[in-house]
A and B are shown apart, each in its own frame.
Chain A
Amino acid sequence: MAAGNPFAIALELILERDPVLMGIVSLSLQVSLSAVLIALVLALPFGAALAMFRFPGRGLLVTLLNALMGLPPVVAGLMVYLMLSRAGPLGSWGLLFTPTAMVIAQTLLVFPIIASLSRQVVEDLWEEYREQLQSLGCSRLRAIPTLLWDARFSLVTGVLAGFGRASAEVGAVLIVGGNIDGVTRVMTTAIALETSKGNLPLALGLGIVLLLLVALVNAAAYLLGESARRRLG
């Protein structure tokens, strides 16, 4: 497998279903999907509240959130590393170099994307629904779940963007996970490792597998969204 065509290697990796690779793939998915799910739970209400309520410093918060969409993964990783290190404030939790630490770091990367998008979408939808909802005696707070649910198709895009960022990044998981064989090694860190071993065809083959994986998740979300959209207008 050391030399050869990366596409052939990717195909071989998939067909062989090598248990080590399967472990890496499943950990990648678990870490990134968990991060997206947790970010979703936190970012939806946060973004919606930011859209619905006016308070001092709101503009600053919106700008900050938009800027954080560009937070370099290495910096996010470093921040989490310093928090979770034994020398850091949460050191006693003993989470450094575990998948949980990787989930936390990726959550940090995904949160601003979903929060920013949900703020925008909810703000636009509130503009459209405001009179009708107020007429029904709906408070701004009570309107949040209604608006989020009605914005669900637009939000899927944000969730996919978040998943893309999480599954593509290597900087954060490398620092907080340590790329430990069988424990915290995911697709991107495995690719980085094979690259540094000079095993470029295998690295690229893994890259192709990762790309297929992300494409698969996106296609599933797209099909789901399209069929729902057709049903619900």
Chain B
Amino acid sequence: MNDMTMARGLLPLQLENVTFRHRNQLLLRDITLQFGVSGRTVIMGPNGAGKSLLMRLCHGLLRPTSGHVRWARGDALSNDVRRRQAMVFQRPVLLRRSALANIRHALALHGVPRSQRTGMAMDALERFGLVALASRPARVLSGGEQQRLALARAWALRPEILFLDEPTSALDPAAVKAVEDAVTAFQGLGIRIVMSTHDMGQARRIADDVVFLLGGRLREHTSATAFFESPRTAEAAAFIRGALIW
């Protein structure tokens, strides 16, 4: 595979009539949506709207029941295409080994030669202030440290696009700040950001554009300014006001 053409090639991401059904429940219906080559998209909506599901379909962890997930090149479900992306989950899944070894393992999966892994991993740990914890078992780190380690792991992989699924929902304010700073730093490297949150303030701080989901349907996809100043739908307006909608 030619790295350069792949690197150029992954975005934009196009979803065409994507529907996802699980045990006879229609969880996402008929989503058509494009993620451009740059910027920060925030996916919003109440619990159960389908935010996590949408990101997993984009990332190729799930296969749509019908419709298509199309990257500019490559099959969405292939490991090669997934290696050009990264995802940070709500609850980080870390291996039962040291912080450093967690990143080394991810680099190994990405085909980085053994001799370069430690250096790259240490760079990433340093970027996220984790050098002192490098040899600590990842599983005994605090929640905030674990999420920073997950971010450092994503950082080391230099993806073209980073998905973050409610990455701060279980964290204290200081840790939230660290995650938001990280998102800015990823953006600074030219990495495409797609993040879900139901923290309104966070969405305002980060979003370039907003995808608003409700009941498994796409209700709005518009610029952040437009979404927060003049939402098109009544449900979005209510959601921004903090009313309970579902």
Do any CB atoms of chain A lie under 8 A from CB atoms of chain B in the complex?
yes
Q: Residues of A at under 8 Å CB distance from B? A: 128-129, 131-139, 142, 146, 149-150, 153, 231-233
Cβ-defined contact, B95 with A150, below 8 A:
yes
Would B96 and A132 count as touching, CB distance under 8 A? no
A146 to B104, CA, bound (A): 12
Q: Which among A134, A149, A231 has the highest number of chain B CB atoms within 10 Å?
A: A134
**C-alpha spacing A42/B4, complex, angstroms:** 41
Q: List 10 A-B contacts (CB under 8 A).
A: A132-B89, A134-B60, A134-B82, A135-B86, A136-B83, A137-B79, A142-B109, A149-B97, A150-B96, A153-B96
Q: Besides the contacts A131-B61, A135-B86, A150-B97, what 10 more A-B pairs have beta carbons closer than 8 Å?
A: A134-B60, A134-B61, A136-B82, A136-B83, A142-B109, A149-B97, A232-B97, A232-B98, A233-B138, A233-B140
Interface flag for B198 (CB, 8 Å): no
Query: Do B80 and A137 touch across chains, with their CB atoms under 8 A apart?
Result: yes
- State A129–B79 Cα separation when bound (angstroms): 16
Are the CB atoms of A129 and B109 closer together than 8 Å? no
List the B side residues contacting A153 at CB < 8 Å: 96
**A residues within 8 A CB of B39?**
none
Q: In the assembled complex, which residues on chain A have CB atoms less than 8 Å from the CB atom of B51?
A: none
Task: Quote the shortest CB–CB distance from B155 to chain A (angstroms).
Answer: 13
A-B contact count (CB 8 A): 54
Instruction: Determine the chain A residues whose CB is within 8 A of the CB of B109 once the complex forms.
Output: 133, 136-138, 142
Tell whether, in the assembled complex, residue B137 and residue A233 are in contact, meaning their CB atoms are under 8 Å apart: yes
A138 touching B79, Cβ below 8 Å: yes
Q: Identify A135's interface contact among B59, B80, B140, CB under 8 A.
A: B59
In the bound complex, do residue A135 and residue B82 qualify as a contact, i.e. CB atoms below 8 Å apart? yes
5 cross-chain pairs, A with B, having the tightest CB-CB distances, nearest first: A137-B83, A233-B139, A233-B137, A132-B93, A233-B140
* A233-B110 in contact (CB<8A): no
Does B179 have its Cβ within 8 Å of any Cβ on chain A?
A: no
Check B95–A136 contact: CB distance below 8 A: no
Is B106 in the interface zone, CB < 8 Å from A?
Answer: yes
B70 is an interface residue with CB less than 8 A from chain A: no
Q: Shortest Cβ distance from A152 into chain B, in angstroms?
A: 8
Q: Is the CB of A137 within 8 A of B110?
A: yes
Q: What are the residues of chain A within 8 A of B87 when measuring CB–CB? A: 135
Q: A136 near B97 (CB under 8 angstroms)?
A: no
Nearest chain A CB to B135 CB, angstrom units: 9
B219 interface residue per 8 A CB criterion: no
B29: chain A residues within 8 A (beta carbon): none
Q: A232-B139, A233-B139 are in contact. Are A139 and B79 (CB under 8 A)?
A: yes
C-alpha gap A135/B95 in the complex (Å):
14
Contact B95 A146 (CB under 8 A): yes
B68 at the interface (CB under 8 A from A): no
A231 to B157 alpha-carbon distance, docked (Å)? 27
Interface status of B221 (Cβ within 8 A of chain A): no
With A136-B109, A137-B83, A233-B137 in contact, do A131 and B98 touch (Cβ < 8 Å)? no
List of B residues within 8 angstroms of A137 by Cβ: 79-80, 82-83, 109-110
When the two chains form their complex, are residues A231 and B137 in contact, meaning their CB atoms are under 8 A apart? yes
Which chain B residue lies CB-closest to A128? B93
B98 and chain A: residue at smallest CB distance? A232
How near does chain B come to A91, taking the closest CB pair, in angstroms? 46
Q: In the complex, what residue of chain A is closest to B96 when comparing beta carbons? A: A150
Q: Could you say which residues of chain A place their CB within 8 Å of the CB of B110?
A: 136-137
In the bound complex, residues from chain B placing their C-beta under 8 Å from that of A129 are 93, 95
Chain B residues within 8 Å of A135, by CB: 59, 61, 82, 85-87
CA distance A132 to B95 in the complex (A): 10
Distance, CA A137 to CA B111, complexed state (A) = 10
B158 interfacial contact with A, CB 8 Å: no
The verdict on A131 contacting B105 (CB below 8 Å), with A137-B79, A138-B79, A233-B139 known, is: no
Task: Considering the complex, give the chain A residue whose CB is closest to the CB of B86.
Answer: A135
Instruction: Enumerate chain A residues within 8 angstroms of B86, measured Cβ to Cβ.
Output: 135
Closest chain B CB from A154 CB (angstroms): 10
Residues of B near A133 (CB, < 8 A) are: 109
Contacts of A149 in B (CB 8 A): 97
